[in-house]
A and B are shown apart, each in its own frame.
Chain A
């Protein structure tokens, strides 16, 4: 079945460092791809999405490109802030449902 794999972390970075969180997927058909962020004690919020191959989603300085040839959707940010500390989930939609990766905890130190 459809699945999402992402690096589990935790990832610890210093402020202003470059961030990459890898995400790869397995899917039949052409799903939409998503990155969600979860701050402590909260639900998941959509960070960005891409609905077809070569689309780039972006928001709040984060970017990810839908790469069909490598079945990947890696999350990047050029300069992280302490406020970016959270858990990040890669996801895809499949049929009427959604499949989520295990989440990657990011800690950014001042």
Chain B
């Protein structure tokens, strides 16, 4: 069974803290993605990566950074958490697009910044 695993289901952090959200996939996928999901706004792409050590900005990268040191792991970093980063964060992975397959999602991390 294919799997994308996010390190935490729920997190509560204080304003100004540095926050790490970890995502691991066991499918040897090249592509990995971080989205945030907010009511009424759907899924918004924060960052994505096509390969190890590669990263590309998505639609809303401000206040975030990412790290991909190994193919199976893609980390999202909030350098200085703020209350407007309270959200549901979803990690996904996929093979290259020419295989016409879907994205596989983790279970999500609900982050609350207080």
Contacts and interface: CB of A to CB of B under 8 A. Distances in A.
Interface of A: 32, 34, 36, 41-46, 49, 51, 89, 91, 93, 95-98, 100-103
Interface of B: 4, 6, 31, 33, 40-43, 45, 48, 50, 90, 92, 94, 96-97, 100-108, 110
Contact of A96 (B6, B31, B102, B107): B31
Given A41-B108, A49-B102, A97 B48 contact: yes
Given A43-B90, A93-B97, A96-B50, A34 B102 contact: yes
B43 A89 contact: yes
Closest 8 CB pairs of A and B: A43-B105, A102-B42, A44-B105, A100-B43, A51-B100, A43-B108, A43-B107, A32-B100
A43 B97 CA distance: 21
A45 B108 contact: no
A46 B102 contact: yes
Contacts of A93: 94, 97, 100, 102-103
Contacts of B41: 102
Contacts, number: 56
17 contacts: A42-B108, A43-B105, A43-B107, A44-B43, A44-B90, A46-B104, A89-B42, A91-B103, A93-B100, A93-B103, A96-B31, A96-B48, A96-B94, A96-B96, A97-B45, A98-B92, A102-B41
Interface of A is mostly: strand
